[in-house]
Amino acid sequence: MQQLFDQARNAQAHGNLAEAARLYRQILASMPAPEVMVNYGNVLGQLGNRAEALAQFDQALQLNPNLFEALFNRANLMLELKRPVEALANYDQVLVSRQDFASVWNNRGTALRSLQRLDEALASFQKAATIAPGHCNALTNCAVILWDMRRLRDSLAAVERALAVQPGFAEALYVKANVLRDMGRTSEALTHYEQALAGNPAHAHALNGLAQVAGILCDWKRTAALTPRLLENAPGGRALIQPFVLMGYSDDAALLRRCAENYVHHVASAHPSLSDGKRYGHERIRLAYLSADFHQHPTAQLLAELFERHDRSRFEVTAIAFGPDDGSALRARMKKAFDHFEDVRGKSDSEVAQMLRAREIDIAVDLNGHTAGARPGIFSYRPAPVQVNYLVYPGTTGARFMDVVLADRIALPADQQPFFSEKIVHLPDCYQANDATRVVPPAPSRAEAGLPENGFVFCCFNNSWKITQPVFDIWMRLLSQVDGSLLWLLDGPHADNLRAEAKARGVDPGRLVFAPRLPPEQHLARHQLADLFLDTLPYNAHTTCSDALWAGLPVVTCYGKSFTGRVASSLLKAIDLPELVTVSPAKYEELALELATGPALLKATREKLARNRTTTSLFDSERFRKNIEAAYEAMLA
């Protein structure tokens, strides 16, 4: 029997898993030894037979409840199966007798992180690193948790310790890149993503990170080189691509859906439903909004007045907040706007879902989708009869557990239904909420805003990753044709690249003026100094378009091929300025030039915008409230 056991282990060690499994079965047929069951379970797990692997570990533990190998490997399998509560219980059982095993502490930290118990996870990773100072995974995981906590300087120091142990460790290089990106050190982040990929070409996340920062930097040579790899991996490959990153590279709606389906499969696998799908029949509809952005953030900025206006005779409104409390006035406003405001940081996806189910929430609205800070895992437990994808993420989640996407007929026409896993529900006007209580302060002087005293001001305050080379080419031709004009953009790590791109097109880089980041009120005020807002493709201005229109600044857009590229068109038509919506890049350029060189036309456009701000649907918050509430009621009918 020992000879068979040695043969099985040798086959396993050399990757001949089928032969190893056959030999272990042969041994177990005559000798049901727990140690053999563990080895057989490991082989089954490697072959993808996780249910059978679990059965072997459980059988081994029935024979020997404290068998270290069985407990440890069962816990690791529970992590793979995204069952962190059970994994944690097994790791803790191991620690009863084996306090000195670094890998147990490290993997236990991973389970705790999955449960959002970040302080305990950090302590567990630190314990692993204390036991084994050269444990590079544990050191890297310390950095990950500190990054989760937004302790970026501490995270950077921790990952440097990991790289001191193993300088070429791809995972540590990737984590360092994430930290540098979030610290605003974008060029350094790009270098580290590239190093991570060089060290491990099969790294699951480094390609996505590299594509993201290349877009932020407007490094178009690099984005062009990355695009084929991004498109190849998006629907499923060795690299996991975030749908939100892909949106900066592609407007192929079919590909965006396949990308979302692949992504959600990896990050939020479905669980048994907490809801039976039946309506509760409460006197008031219990409505919950879930977001990482209930603080000083564009999401909260757009939605604040809607939350305040909801008809409390028909709706009981709950906030589920899992993002930071920044202590801002907007955060305080958020807390007052809801009937219930629940800060669920530190609670697992399962715990939050159980909370929603216990409160008998009728409609749960996801205000993140696949954007930063999103927690689709909460919705994967299906805690509510109706689950809605709304506002922040302009695409399909690809998740079977999401029922509805709220949009409008312009931003998301009915013919786009094949590209959405959710049912499209249209609001009668623009789908985007707005806060019409915002005050536009008096404009600063041109000098105060860093602008020259004279010259036509083209403006685009979109994020830099939305600025693509074809759009920039149009902008440079406009500068060349409008004497004394300049282009006003947000400042950032992309500025030098754009100056170089302008120079390469024969445009004085000094005609690009970069505006520093300012508090929302000051940013809104300075819009009044611009003459014309130029939109981007394939991803439009969304909140930035509303900002411009609210401040009285006309926006020229081009109707795109996907949801991301049609939002500005929806906003402009809702404010009754359809003449500012074009249907091709050539028409977009033609209209922008006509407005920039036709003072009378621009003046008439601005006057029409000023009249329409208060007479059309876009900033009519009461009308919007009625529309969205009617939609919610229809979902429960």
The Cα-based distances of 630 to 404, 627, 634 in angstroms read: 14, 5, 6
Q: Is 630 helix (H, G, I), strand (E, B) or coil?
A: helix
What's the mean pLDDT in 278-288? 95
pLDDT in tens, 533-575: 999 999 999 999 999 999 999 999 999 999 999 999 999 999 9
The burial class, CB within 10 Å (0-12 / 13-18 / 19+), for 366 is buried
pLDDT in tens, 414-450: 999 999 999 999 999 999 999 999 999 999 999 999 9
Q: What letter does residue 536 receive in the DSSP assignment? A: -
Number of neighbouring beta carbons within 10 Å of residue 587 = 14
How far is the C-alpha of 346 from the C-alpha of 352, rounded, in Å?
A: 10
CB 407 within 8 A of CB 384: no
- Residue with token string 């208060």: 614
pLDDT in tens, 138-155: 999 999 999 999 999 999
CB 584 within 8 A of CB 558: yes
Residue 388 has φ and ψ, to the nearest 5°, of -120, 135
Task: Work out the angle between the directed axes of helices 17-30 and 2-13 (0-180°, nearest 10).
Answer: 160
Domain ranges of the chain: 285-436+625-635, 457-612
Angle at alpha carbon of residue 360, lines to 354 and 364, rounded to 5°: 80
> Tell me, what's the pLDDT at 1?
66
What separation, in Å, do the N-terminal and C-terminal C-alpha atoms of the chain show?
67
CB 296 within 8 A of CB 326: yes
What's the mean pLDDT in 152-181? 98
pLDDT exceeds cutoff 70 at 473? yes
pLDDT exceeds cutoff 80 at 611? yes
pLDDT exceeds cutoff 90 at 523? yes
> Tell me, what's the pLDDT at 6?
85
- Residue 605 CA, distance from chain mean position: 36
> Tell me, what's the pLDDT at 60?
95
> Tell me, what's the pLDDT at 539?
98
CATH 3.40.50.11380 for the 285-436+625-635 domain, yes or no: yes
- 270 — pLDDT class (breaks 50, 70, 90): confident
Among residues of the chain, what percentage have pLDDT more than 90? 96
The burial class, CB within 10 Å (0-12 / 13-18 / 19+), for 498 is buried
CB 250 within 8 A of CB 563: no
- Which one is the CATH code of 457-612: 3.40.50.720, 3.30.450.20, 3.40.50.300, 3.40.50.2000? 3.40.50.2000
> Tell me, what's the pLDDT at 5?
81
Name the pTM for this structure. Answer: 0.95
> Tell me, what's the pLDDT at 4?
83
By 3-state DSSP, what share of the chain in percent is helix, strand and coil, each rounded to 5?
55, 10, 35
Q: What does the block give as tokens for 434?
A: 């707005």
How far is the C-alpha of 225 from the C-alpha of 239, rounded, in Å?
A: 16
pLDDT in tens, 87-133: 999 999 999 989 999 999 999 999 999 999 999 999 999 999 999 99
- For every residue of 20-81, DSSP letters joined together read HHHHHHHHHHH---HHHHHHHHHHHHHTT-HHHHHHHHHHHHHH-TT-HHHHHHHHHHHHHT
Number of neighbouring beta carbons within 10 Å of residue 603 = 11
CB 432 within 8 A of CB 466: no
pLDDT in tens, 173-230: 999 999 999 999 999 999 999 999 999 999 999 999 999 999 999 999 999 999 999 9
**Mean pLDDT, rounded, of the chain:** 97
pLDDT in tens, 612-631: 999 999 999 999 999 999 99
The Cα-based distances of 570 to 307, 433, 495, 555 in angstroms read: 22, 12, 30, 12
31: Cβ contacts below 8 Å, ≥ 6 apart = 1
